[in-house]
Amino acid sequence: MSLPIEFRSQDRLPKDGCLIVPGRLDASQASELAASLPNRQITWLMEESASLPPDLESYLQLSGRGGVAFSKTDKSLSEVGKNLSGKIEGNGVLIFVPGVTACRPGVPCQIPSDVLKSLCELRLPIVPLEVSIPAEARLSVENSTKLPAATMTFGKAIPKGNASIARYREALLACSEEAFSSRTFLDGSLAEALLQGLKQHASTKSLYDGSDDSELPFEKILGAAIALSKEIKTATKKKRVGIILPPGKGGMIANIAVLFANKIPVNLNFTASHEAVRSSIRQADLDRFITADPFVRKVPDFPWPPNRELLFVERILPRIKKKIIKWVVLSKFLPASVLVKLLGIGKSKGDDEALLLFTSGSSGQPKGVPLSHRNLLANVCQFGRQLALPDDSKLLGCLPLFHSFGSTVTLWYPIIEGLDLVTYPSPLETKRLAELIQQHQVALLLATPTFLRGYMRRIDPERLSSLRIVVTGAEKLPDSLARSFEDKFGILPMEGYGLTETSPAATINLPFEDPDNGLPLIPSQRFSSVGLPLPGLAIRITNPATEEKNTLDQSGIIWMKGANIFNGYLNKPELTAEVIDENGWFKSGDVGRVDDDGFLYIEGRISRFSKIAGEMVPHETVEAAVNKALGLDNETERKIAIVGVPDAKKGEALALISTIAGRALEQETLDIRYKLMDEGIPSLWCPKKIIPVKHIPVLASGKLDIKGCEELINEA
């Protein structure tokens, strides 16, 4: 028995005529779509150079409906549109049939941009139609028997003559968000999904801890986490538990155990200032902290709580060894549903808080970001669907667990989706990391550009030959670094984008080789962009000055909406109201635009813009130009940074803080100004002064520490 196709928001379809443009369409979907419009006169529309799958072509010929074609190269497409308008008189509809393309699986819009542009130039009223197949984007632990064969969501009609690629894509993304956010698995529990993942992959998947070369199968992680969860329940009545551990078996078991105890893990940033750490502890209301003796000794300057509040994982686990063995054995025989009920797991679910992270505090005090079960389940599903890694893949987990990427992608993702994880406590020790990549044939490397530079220095190319995907985030990936990395290791790093508030992944570039079969290529990566939005994420752009809505192709503040977007900051309703509107749209604070192929470009953070004489000047663009002018493109560490400073005449000016200032600062400022202007940088954008410093402050993630830079300027 074939699964049904679910239609959503069909009431958006105008009663009078229109052109329906699905992002993709196969034979069964075309048949169901036509059947859902029983009282409409349907005409199929094709671009004449497109080819169709045999089954779709056969269905169209036998459907009993009329068909017409147009050419994307026709110089008078508006006239073609006038001729076609007769097909939509009264309540008639034209349904565009996308041709076959070369693309990664599951791409929501399989219409080449030149064809999309020609459809808009027909100047007909357009209704976008998003076609998603839930089975393509589901968690491995999700029950697939209850999923519809496809979900077809109608977008808001774009009036005659108003259609553009940007408007079409924005409407399609909104439909994708609507369909994805309605999925029932999002109402579930992260803890329950982790238990199911650990049990489902109990004896076939493992964590390989690079700090001592140990291997821990998922079945032992499950037993240890269950036994430790009971100790945690006894140790504290508070709803949150602090964790001060690096990536590794201890960090993973601790996080899962806290969730199994129906409590909320809070991975604390052990690289932050004492003030920031104490603020995080106070905000989270913590009275117990899971850590390990060796780590306490390794980070002696951390503001450690009193010993009575510390739960030393390497002391507790040996003491409860018999209980761990008992649960390993029981977990082999008891179904996941029985274990869940027996352990009382999953009382917290859906929109309830599952995890508390704190922002890095690059521009102030850390903010608490509670992520819900819904947020994390969504992001694991979104990220996993896009990567589509083979089941035998291994990924490297070395990013800190207090980092949102390190948390979602190297804790929850491999467990739920069943992937081997290789861990190491530090992302900085690239020599050891390269050894682990070679030893375990790691396929996926997650890093920041700062950490990538470490591989450039001393690592032989063969060490990284197993890598298939290298994803960077947290900061801008310089073009020169990406190309240098590709030249040395034969793989181009792919930039992604996300924020703690988006759980964190929002967009990603991914490799896809053109099969050279003559079909139009739908790209999955574009150099210098941060990639395509993940499934179920809607995007809109607003003008930074007026807050009025822009089209996606116009630069402005990026807003996002989706199941992975957090619900608001911890105990900060006023701050939440500033970034989340009444319809659930999140104001990212980043400035960017979307191109015709759907790729997002980040042009800067609004906090890293200066308003000079009424013009918004992006610090990161100026930094890139200064690095190029001074020949610093390939430097492994930051040598300069641009910071806004007050200016009596123009309100604000740019200052360049630099570790390389050597000659008379006035002359050096003048020299840089001329070099920048030679590169086409406006005079208004040139730094007004240079401030020499001993170092450029950066955070553990590699991001520029804006607050630290401002303090250096104040000291100077």
What is the reported pLDDT for 35? 94
* 194-589 belongs to CATH 3.90.1580.10: no
pLDDT at 155 over 90: yes
* 209 membership: H or E segment, kind and range: strand 206-209
Tokens of 257: 């155990």
Question: Taking residues 621-635, what's their average pLDDT?
Answer: 79
Q: What band does 360 get if pLDDT is binned at 50, 70 and 90?
A: low
Round to whole Å and give the CA distance between 217 and 344: 24
* 613-715 belongs to CATH 3.30.300.30: yes
Name beta bridge partners: 470. 445
CATH 3.40.50.12780 domain position(s) in the chain: 194-589
Question: Taking residues 518-532, what's their average pLDDT?
Answer: 93
What is the reported pLDDT for 492? 95
Q: What band does 676 get if pLDDT is binned at 50, 70 and 90?
A: confident
pLDDT at 494 over 80: yes
pLDDT tens by residue, 303-344: 999 999 999 999 999 999 999 999 999 999 999 999 999 999
Q: CB–CB of 533/563 below 8 Å?
A: no
Round to whole Å and give the CA distance between 327 and 221: 10
pLDDT at 637 over 80: no
pLDDT tens by residue, 156-207: 999 999 999 999 999 999 999 999 999 999 999 999 999 999 999 999 999 9
For 31-40, which contacts have Cβ atoms below 8 Å and span 24 or more sequence positions?
A: 31/59, 31/63, 32/5, 32/150, 32/152, 33/95, 33/129, 33/152, 34/63, 34/65, 34/95, 36/7, 36/10, 36/152, 37/13, 37/93, 39/91, 40/91, 40/92, 40/93
Round to whole Å and give the CA distance between 638 and 654: 18
Q: State the residue for tokens 């006035």.
A: 666
Residue 559, CA distances (Å) to 23, 545, 551, 585 in order: 22, 15, 12, 6
Question: Taking residues 627-654, what's their average pLDDT?
Answer: 78
What is the reported pLDDT for 304? 94
Q: CB–CB of 155/175 below 8 Å?
A: yes
pLDDT tens by residue, 76-103: 999 999 999 999 998 899 999 999 999 9
Please state, rounded to an integer, the average pLDDT across all residues of the chain: 91
Hey, is 583 helix, strand or coil? coil
Helices (H), 66-205: 77-84, 113-121, 165-181, 190-200
Round to whole Å and give the CA distance between 333 and 328: 9
CA 182 to chain centre: 20
Round to whole Å and give the CA distance between 125 and 162: 8
What is the reported pLDDT for 212? 95
Bigger pLDDT: 108 vs 605:
108
CB neighbour list of residue 706: distance below 8 Å, 6 or more residues apart: 362, 363, 607, 608, 643
Question: Taking residues 668-689, what's their average pLDDT?
Answer: 80
pLDDT at 662 over 60: no
What is the reported pLDDT for 364? 57
pLDDT at 1 over 50: no
Round to whole Å and give the CA distance between 563 and 536: 7
Cα distance from N-terminal residue to C-terminal residue, the chain: 74
CATH 3.30.300.30 domain position(s) in the chain: 613-715
Question: Taking residues 111-123, what's their average pLDDT?
Answer: 96
Bigger pLDDT: 534 vs 695:
534
What is the reported pLDDT for 286? 97
pLDDT at 397 over 50: yes
